[in-house]
């Protein structure tokens, strides 16, 4: 026991004499299973962004960008400010106006959001624009397409064939990548997402708009006006890819009441909207 | 070493050996004078050392990673098993961490070669299922608090064997039941002096229990002495029981001069506060043969008890670990147990040699879900090769495991195996030392959780 006491005293002295200035972190102790979940999440996000970028390119191949640069800047400012209140504030969102008469908006994975000139023409204030953009941001935040199509980084995939998905080395991987992009485009323009995903995006959009200080009823007003509009061709796309506006409105109305947002007196910014949107 | 002794003896014959004929003795030296012949008597047939294992220190490796890495863990120690190996390392277990380890199967086997004549070996085997480690760590205040339970050795022998026509013996039957375990449990605390240096201490309650019953019956061939033409029997029964408890503090230090290099050291010693030792010996001598057990045809028995407290060695461990990458690490340990004087079964002393052991370990991640670990280690005997009365077998071992990780948990399946060949004196003194082979194998399944 005496020997142990002596050793303990020596260790204590050593600890007190330790050179405090030699401070250093020891990240090397972290083992792969401890650090790779974070790395995997980052890799998955990179994969999502890469798919989204390619989908955005396909969208722009279908519809040209609206030529009004000031309009593009305005929508980007509104959208980016809004995305900062979302669930993925670290993700870089990009917003663009498509020169299309269709009344629709699209969100590609990774934060690429598009709204058509036809939709903007139907809006009366910035709160309605925010409602539409918030709906698309919600799709990205909730990773609806990512989850539906299982988009992930190759090392996270259970399929061996995906291991070189983004490595660019394998032809099969490139084919799979192209197929994934095609599937996303089909979802956006033809098949639509699950109905529940759309309803969830509506609900998230209302809350996001409210958090950002906008009138949370902007999306409802836009949907009402859209449903009243007698223009079958302009609504073809949104009708085929989204639940009926009446059902969406019914759910939104219930949500606004339940969450005490019906009487919310928040900004609509109609004048600013009308200054930027011809 | 303090002790009191008490001897209760019963003579049935004036022909009993000198030691047994002595009256009640309370003085230690006189008691030892009695005990030594008894121990020799106990070794007259086949006795040998208890398998668990006063002759080795590393029969069971402790902890999930440590077991798979050959026990080379002094400079790693960053999970709950670090509470045992080097408590200073648990400062790196920054989250609530729970670790349990079950040695699904621990088996030992000692083979004394050709001791039964005609090339026949005598095997002593033990198989036991033991939960040998549980530990939990939790950051508290400026440091990390932990609690652990460790079984550092465990033997469960239950042997019934009969040999026919062994030299001049018509029949030799041995029934051996040996249960031994060493437990440790207690709290630990570690704190980080700075980013390079940490210190820690574990204060274990130490408990050891051992009980052995060794019953041997020999049916002798008809001889040429008195009663020639008739067979006769020799019989011996020995029961021992030893319990002890005390404390075993472990003091550790970890120095990390480089972000990839860690150096660790720990020192520990069990200090026995209380012990109870018991020996009961009965023998019956043959009337047709010279017997070393008891005189012709007599039955004797002796009962001994004492509270002699064993000395335990000081153990010093030094370790180094190289964290090459998140995927790969290497570690090495060297340990030294100091020499001391031991007490065998409460009544006999022996000089225990200072003993060095080394271990090397590695860990490699196949991906973020699977890792393989491996190690090599020594488990050298603390006996002298010059003293044949005690088994002298140096064991050399390997270990490996496959680990599967999920988000907050891990599961390990692995094994350790060690083997060695040496000499012992299982036959009566005067015979040449016998060659013996010892093997240990542990197959373990363990899990840990981080909250």
User: Between these two residues, A162 and B226, which has the higher pLDDT value?
Assistant: B226
Q: How much is the pTM? A: 0.65
- By mean pLDDT, which of A9-18, A179-188, A268-277, B345-354 is the weakest? A9-18
pLDDT level of residue A14 (50, 70, 90 thresholds)? very low
Across the interface, which of A3, A16, A31 has its CB nearest the CB of B365? A31
pLDDT level of residue B49 (50, 70, 90 thresholds)? very low
In this model, does residue A160 exceed pLDDT 70? no
Which residue carries 């990240």 as its tokens? A27
In this model, does residue B46 exceed pLDDT 80? no
Q: What's A191's DSSP letter?
A: I
Q: Which of A13-22, A190-199, B155-164 has the highest mean pLDDT?
A: A190-199
A100 to each of A97, A115, A121, A246, how far by Cα in Å? 9, 9, 11, 24
B234 to each of A100, B165, B279, B300, how far by Cα in Å? 109, 15, 20, 12
B326·A30 Cβ contact <8 A: yes
Q: Give me the total of CB pairs closer than 8 Å, taking one residue from chain A and one from chain B.
A: 93
Sequence-separated (6 or more) residues with CB below 8 Å from residue A17: none
- For the segment B361-388, the average pLDDT, to the nearest whole number, is 90
In this model, does residue B102 exceed pLDDT 80? no
**Shortest alpha-carbon distance between residue B329 and chain A (Å):** 9
DSSP per-residue string spanning B376-445: EEEE--SS-TT-TTS-B--EEEEEEEEEEE-SSEEEEEEEEEEEEEEEE--SPBTBPPEEEEEEEEEEEE
pLDDT level of residue B350 (50, 70, 90 thresholds)? confident
- Interface of A to B at Cβ within 8 Å reads 1, 3-4, 7-8, 11-12, 14-16, 18-20, 22-37, 39-40, 155
In this model, does residue B360 exceed pLDDT 70? yes
Could you tell me if residue A211 is left (phi over 0), alpha (psi between -120 and 50 degrees) or otherwise beta? alpha
Compute the distance between CA of residue B119 and CA of residue A269 in angstroms, rounded to an integer.
102
Compute the distance between CA of residue A48 and CA of residue B387 in angstroms, rounded to an integer.
72
B216-255: pLDDT as tens digits: 888 877 655 555 556 678 888 989 999 999 999 999 999 9
Q: Does residue B201 belong to the interface with chain A, where contact is any CB pair within 8 Å?
A: yes
User: Between these two residues, B216 and A240, which has the higher pLDDT value?
Assistant: B216
pLDDT level of residue A246 (50, 70, 90 thresholds)? confident
pLDDT level of residue A273 (50, 70, 90 thresholds)? very high
Nearest to A150 by CA among A38, A39, A44: A44
ipTM: 0.72
A60-91: pLDDT as tens digits: 999 999 999 999 999 999 999 999 999 999 89
- For the segment A7-26, the average pLDDT, to the nearest whole number, is 43
**Shortest alpha-carbon distance between residue A175 and chain B (Å):** 26
């Amino acid at each position: 026991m005496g020997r142990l006491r002596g050793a303990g005293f020596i260790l204590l002295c050593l600890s007190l004499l330790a050179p405090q200035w030699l401070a250093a972190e020891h990240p090397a102790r972290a083992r792969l299973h401890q650090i790779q979940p974070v790395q995997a999440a980052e890799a998955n996000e990179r994969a999502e962004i890469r798919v989204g970028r390619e989908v955005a390119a396909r969208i722009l191949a279908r519809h040209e960008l609206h030529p009004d640069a000031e309009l593009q800047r305005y929508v980007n400012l509104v959208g980016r400010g809004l995305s900062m209140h979302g669930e993925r504030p670290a993700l870089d969102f990009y917003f663009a106006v498509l020169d299309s008469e269709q009344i629709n908006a699209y969100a590609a994975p990774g934060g690429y959001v598009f709204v058509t000139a036809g939709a903007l023409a139907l809006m009366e204030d910035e709160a309605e624009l925010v409602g539409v953009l918030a709906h698309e941001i919600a799709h990205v935040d909730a990773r609806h397409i990512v989850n539906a199509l299982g988009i992930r980084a190759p090392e996270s995939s259970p399929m061996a064939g995906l291991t070189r998905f983004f490595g660019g080395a394998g032809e099969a991987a490139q084919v799979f990548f192209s197929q994934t992009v095609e599937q996303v485009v089909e979802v956006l323009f033809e098949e639509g997402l699950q109905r529940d995903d759309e309803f969830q995006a509506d609900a998230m959009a209302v809350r996001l708009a409210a958090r950002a200080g906008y009138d949370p009823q902007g999306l409802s007003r836009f949907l009402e006006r859209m449903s009243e509009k007698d223009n079958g061709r302009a609504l073809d796309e949104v009708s085929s890819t989204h639940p009926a506006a009446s059902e969406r409105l019914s759910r939104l109305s219930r949500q606004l009441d339940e969450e005490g947002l019906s009487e919310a007196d928040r900004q609509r910014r109609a004048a600013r909207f009308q200054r930027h949107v011809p | 070493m303090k002790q009191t002794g008490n001897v209760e003896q019963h003579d049935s014959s004036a022909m009993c050996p000198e030691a047994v004929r002595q009256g009640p003795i309370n003085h230690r030296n006189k008691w030892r004078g009695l005990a030594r012949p008894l121990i020799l008597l106990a070794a007259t047939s086949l006795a040998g050392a208890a398998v668990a294992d006063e002759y080795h220190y590393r029969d069971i490796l402790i902890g999930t990673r440590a077991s798979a890495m050959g026990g080379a863990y002094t400079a790693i120690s960053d999970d709950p098993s670090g509470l045992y190996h080097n408590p200073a390392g648990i400062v790196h277990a920054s989250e609530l961490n729970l670790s349990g380890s079950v040695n699904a199967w621990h088996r030992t086997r000692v083979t004394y070669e050709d001791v039964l004549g005609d090339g026949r070996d005598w095997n002593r085997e033990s198989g036991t299922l033991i939960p040998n480690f549980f530990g939990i760590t939790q950051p508290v205040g400026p440091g990390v608090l932990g609690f652990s339970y460790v079984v550092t050795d465990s033997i469960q022998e239950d042997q019934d064997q009969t040999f026919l026509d062994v030299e001049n013996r018509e029949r030799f039957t041995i029934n051996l039941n040996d249960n031994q375990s060493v437990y440790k449990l207690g709290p630990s605390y570690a704190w980080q002096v700075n980013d390079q240096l940490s210190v820690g201490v574990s204060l274990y309650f130490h408990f050891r229990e051992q009980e052995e019953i060794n019953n041997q019956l020999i049916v002798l061939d008809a001889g040429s002495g008195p009663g020639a033409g008739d067979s006769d029997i020799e019989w011996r029964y020995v029961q021992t029981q030893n319990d002890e408890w005390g404390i075993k503090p472990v003091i550790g230090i970890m120095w990390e001069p480089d972000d990839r290099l860690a150096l660790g050291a720990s020192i520990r010693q069990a200090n026995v506060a209380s012990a109870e030792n018991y020996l009961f010996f009965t023998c019956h001598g043959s009337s047709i043969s010279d017997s070393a057990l008891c005189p012709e045809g007599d039955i004797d028995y002796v009962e001994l008890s004492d509270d002699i407290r064993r000395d335990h060695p000081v153990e010093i461990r030094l370790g180094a670990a190289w964290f090459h990458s998140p995927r790969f690490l290497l570690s090495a340990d060297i340990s030294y147990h100091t020499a001391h004087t031991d007490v065998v079964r409460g009544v006999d002393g022996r000089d225990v040699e200072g003993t060095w052991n080394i271990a090397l370990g590695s860990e490699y991640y196949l991906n973020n879900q699977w890792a393989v670990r491996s190690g090599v280690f020594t488990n050298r005997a603390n006996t002298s090769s010059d003293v044949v009365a005690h088994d002298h077998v140096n064991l050399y071992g390997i270990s490996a495991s496959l680990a599967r990780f999920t988000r907050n948990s891990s599961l390990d399946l692995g094994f350790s195996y060690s083997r060695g060949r040496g000499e012992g004196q299982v036959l009566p003194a005067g015979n040449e030392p016998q060659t013996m082979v010892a093997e240990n194998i542990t197959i373990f399944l363990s899990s840990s959780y981080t909250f």
